[in-house]
Structure 1
Amino acid sequence: MQAAELFEQEIKPPEVARRLRVSVKSAYQWHQLWRDGGREALASRGPSGSRCRLSPRCLEKLAAYLDEGPAAHGWVEDQVWTAARVATLIGRKFHVSYSVSGATRLMHRLGFSPQVPARRVAERDERAVTVWREATWAEVTARAACGGYICFEDEAGFTRRPPRGRTWGRRGVTPRVTVSGRRSGRLSVAGLIAIRPGSRTRLCHRLRTHPAGRGKRRSMGERDFIALVDGVHQLLKAPIVLVWDRLNTHVSRVMRELIAERKWLTVFLNRSGFGRDSIV
């Protein structure tokens, strides 16, 4: 109705188009409608297009089916919703035919959007996760309540051979690069983040190179991990409550002895929420 108010003020269509950010052609069409029928001729008639072929009740059911996930309806391979699968689901459940583009618009109308799903292991034990969150985590925070830092540690390994990238080449001819056939060794990195309310969060890491060769170690050992923890303790000058996974070097006899020698260190073991244990 803004256009009608401007026309009543005898403002020309080009100026109306500029103020309302529409085309001059649209402004002239509105002006003609206003002259012939007044304000009522410019009243909105609602959104254009055909009506939805699913009732509000069916739309609620469809949203519930989508929330159940693709696996619940037979798509167990990759467990992702596609517009084609949604159209198939609508046909199965409501006996209504939808095109792929129509199913896409319907998904947007229901509040869904294309997203990259997060992965979750099938062996995940929800009960163990709940116990860890409610019981073990409370114990972790209680141990750190006397001025200690809660620390989380993880590690990763990388090959020292350059990664394969993309390059330009002639069509039909695969480019080749020359690399050494010998083993290139590996690089290990362990990272630890230390958190305490009211204090600056710290992120520390330790690198270790492993030369190539048969019989040589290709990952970090107990001494490497404990050296990282010792360095963090020297930096923070406070007790440490450490949470890490059940890597073999984390639970070995040597590591248990090293932990027992450090009275300022408390370690909680966690393997993606599957269980709980603690080493004091």
Structure 2
Amino acid sequence: MVGVVALRLGGCRGGLSTLGFGCRLASSSFVATSVGGGTSCACGRLFEVGASNAEIARAVGVCAESVRRWRRVWEEGGVSALRRRAATGRPPKLDDAQVETVRAALMRGAQAHGFEADLWTLERVGAVVERATGVALSRASVWRLLTGWLGWSLQRPERRAVERDESEIARWIAHEWPRIKKGP
């Protein structure tokens, strides 16, 4: 992935000149490219050519404090210190194969898993996840699984009486309601 950042340097004049590091100066514009490094890595290249923090912040579209923090890191470790690192934290409880197993189980419907109505709740999904994978998830983790990994959204069923008669309701509104509204 190549990120491109453009920055206008106030004091630069002249034609095209190559600055190295995948950077070039063309008609008062500085273009820095970084391979896999992201915005902070591109800023490292801007630091190397002497751009000010304010110019970099405006060009990249970040706050000045971020640029100051990146400059401190760059001064201590160079451009390599600004490279992206792998995400830290606890690894997910379910791997990709288990998520696909859960997806297939949920697509069969709630009744296929012994539930009375074909309606999914967090508790029901949690029970199916535990049966399918052997992993117990909290309600919050089930919600993240459904919305984040599987792309599902909250759907609430309409609450209407089974005995509801639309034609009788329309007749009542057309004939009875005007009579009641007029009064005696």
**Partner Cα distance (1:107, 1:74) in 2:** 20
CA apart distance, 1:44: 0.9
**Alpha carbons 1:63, 1:110 under 8 Å: kept:** no
The match for 1:108 among 136, 142, 147 is 147
Structure 2 unaligned residues grouped into runs of 5+: 1-40, 159-165, 180-184
**1:38 aligned residue:** 78
**2:125 aligned residue:** 86
Larger proportion of helix: 2
TM-score normalised by L of structure 2: 0.58
**1:10 aligned residue:** 50
The match for 2:110 among 51, 70, 90 is 70
**Alpha carbons 1:4, 1:42 under 8 Å: kept:** yes
Q: In structure 1, the residue corresponding to 2:176 is in which secondary structure? A: coil
The CA RMSD over aligned residues, in Å, is: 3.1
**Partner Cα distance (1:23, 1:61) in 2:** 43
Q: Tell me which structure has the larger Cα radius of gyration.
A: 1
The match for 2:89 among 38, 46, 49 is 49
The match for 1:28 among 47, 65, 68 is 68
Structure 1 vs Structure 2: percent identity of aligned residues? 25
Q: Deviations 1:132-174 (Å, cap 9, x if unpaired)?
A: xxxxxxxxxxxxxxxxxxxxxxxx7314549xxxxxxxxxxxx
**Alpha carbons 1:13, 1:24 under 8 Å: kept:** yes
**Partner Cα distance (1:30, 1:60) in 2:** 39
